Amino acid sequence: MGRNETLIYTSLGDLIKKKREKIGMSLSELSRLTRISKGVLHYIETGETKRPELKTLKPIADVLSLPYKEIVEHYIEVEQRVEALYKLLAEANEISNIPFISKVARKILESPSEDTYTSLQRLYDHIVILTSDEIKLLLSKVITKYARQHGVPQFVANGLFQQYMIEREDLKRLEESLRDGEEILHYTDFLSREDTITYYYRMALHAYNIKRYEKCIKFGQKGFIEDTSSNELKERVALVMCHSYIHLNDHESAEECVNNFVKMGYQFVIDHSKPIRANIYLKREDYNSALPLLRECLDEATVDTYLHRLNDLLEVLSLLNDTDSIYHILTCIEEKKIFIDVNTPYKYRELGRYHKLKGEYEIKTRKFDEGITTLLASILNYEKISAYEEINQCVGIILNCQSFNQKHINTDILGNLVYIYNKINKVNV
């Protein structure tokens, strides 16, 4: 049955009844096949139920081979009542029908019964309470596009903010989502104060996780200007700002930063002040001062801080070529603290760093197969966050190991290397 034939019928009930009779199916048989009661089917066919729910319509359309997609699109096309459209939207949400959700949302915004601002506000209020990130993201994009077309910057800002807060969780698109998030800088005047502060802080943490240290500091400073309260998120940002200055080799700013935050009573910075100072010594190549502090830090580490502090100590010992101390540490480490709660960009990067340092040590002590296997584990963790610079470093170490040591990679390890290469480059084998 084609689209034109379908839409000849003004009543959906007419369409269902005529198709059922045409194929010689009784109401009882349709009820049995769809698992919908005869009473409900009767009300639909007689027009007493003028707009069945989508979850009711779908099995009927399937059994009678009716063009479900066209019927629902026609539903959306002819419906003008906002309340009915919101009911349609709720049904589409319930069955996660993405194409219909987008069409209904657009129709809601185009409804002549509400002005543009009111319709945008109501749809935005609707998406804030949704639990499905996929649907929330879709509706945020609809709002953003419609608001741009109609010159309503407040909802361009709100839509972009919701998109960013969802897309930043995609570990494979950290670079892209940070770049997309920067567009919101042009619209912060239209965000609520709370959302503005959240935006600045989340961008600061995001930038730090992908080693964009200047941006981390910039967004953190913007957040501090807006935020006069005391809260955990603010203190976390303060901590990564201190580390950002260290990574940028701006030791004076790092010291000034940590001293100021300690004076202000930022507990996160107070708790981490010792490793921060150790890292400042490390960047200054003052290893005699850094090493004792780093050892103390590892002894005092919690489950959350253990892996990072272990890596800092292994890194300085590697620089000093102190393989004996590395061996002692690797034989005494608490592995359960290394592999717990690995689900953030920071944790994946630190786990990749740990395996890289361990793999380099194993190769340096001529445990070539173990070292290459450990480096492959490093690559897999870096791949989780698309850290291609670090991946290339690991591959370079493996190739140099083979070249300089005239070491042939055994078949199993070579197979793993090929597998990882294909996984990273999405090659189907």
Average pLDDT for 59-75: 83
Average pLDDT value for the chain? 90
- Return the percentage of the chain with pLDDT > 90, whole number: 67
pLDDT of residue 3: 47
Same domain, 394 and 371: yes
Q: Hey, what are 383's tokens?
A: 């791949």
How far, in Å, are 107, 172, 214, 217, 349 from residue 209 at the CA level? 40, 13, 12, 12, 8
User: Does residue 80 surpass a pLDDT of 70?
Assistant: yes
- Close Cβ partners of 279 (under 8 Å, ≥ 6 residues apart): 243, 246, 290, 312
Q: In terms of C-beta density within 10 A (0-12 exposed, 13-18 middle, 19 or more buried), how is residue 212 classed?
A: buried
Same domain, 387 and 414: yes
Give domain status of residue 203, yes or no: no
Q: Which residue, 306, 341, 376, sits at the end of a domain?
A: 341
Same domain, 354 and 422: yes
Same domain, 337 and 353: no
CA nearest neighbour of 361 among 334, 396, 397: 397
Give domain status of residue 5, yes or no: no
pLDDT of residue 425: 67
Same domain, 321 and 386: no
Same domain, 392 and 415: yes
Average pLDDT for 213-224: 98
pLDDT in tens, 193-214: 999 999 999 999 999 999 999 9
Can you tell me the distance from the alpha carbon of 231 to that of 408, in angstroms, rounded to the nearest whole number?
54
pLDDT of residue 79: 75
Q: What residue type is 102 in one-letter code?
A: S
Most confident of 78-87, 350-359, 415-424: 350-359
pTM of the model: 0.83
Average pLDDT for 119-132: 92
Neighbouring C-alpha atoms within 13 Å toward the C-beta of 37? 3
User: Does residue 421 surpass a pLDDT of 80?
Assistant: no
Most confident of 154-168, 276-290, 375-389: 154-168
Report DSSP state, residue 184: G
Same domain, 354 and 399: yes
Give domain status of residue 424, yes or no: yes
195: helix, strand or coil: helix
How many structural domains are present in the chain? 2
pLDDT of residue 428: 45
User: Does residue 10 surpass a pLDDT of 80?
Assistant: no
Average pLDDT for 326-333: 94
Can you tell me the distance from the alpha carbon of 24 to that of 180, in angstroms, rounded to the nearest whole number?
56
Give domain status of residue 388, yes or no: yes
Can you tell me the distance from the alpha carbon of 375 to that of 363, in angstroms, rounded to the nearest whole number?
10
Same domain, 323 and 379: no
Q: Which residue, 341, 374, 393, sits at the end of a domain?
A: 341
Give domain status of residue 359, yes or no: yes
Same domain, 354 and 398: yes
Give domain status of residue 358, yes or no: yes
Query: Which helix (H) or strand (E) segment is 329 a member of?
Result: helix 323-332
pLDDT of residue 81: 83
- Give the residue with greater pLDDT, 141 vs 417: 141
Give domain status of residue 69, yes or no: no
Task: Tell me how many degrees the CA angle 96-155-136 measures, rounded to the nearest 5.
Answer: 15
User: Does residue 9 surpass a pLDDT of 50?
Assistant: no
Q: Which residue, 341, 374, 397, sits at the end of a domain?
A: 341
Q: Hey, what are 29's tokens?
A: 């048989």
Q: The dihedral of CA 6, 8, 14, 20: what is its sign?
A: negative
Same domain, 365 and 414: yes
Same domain, 380 and 330: no
- The parent domain of residue 332 ranges over 298-341
Same domain, 417 and 385: yes
Give domain status of residue 184, yes or no: no
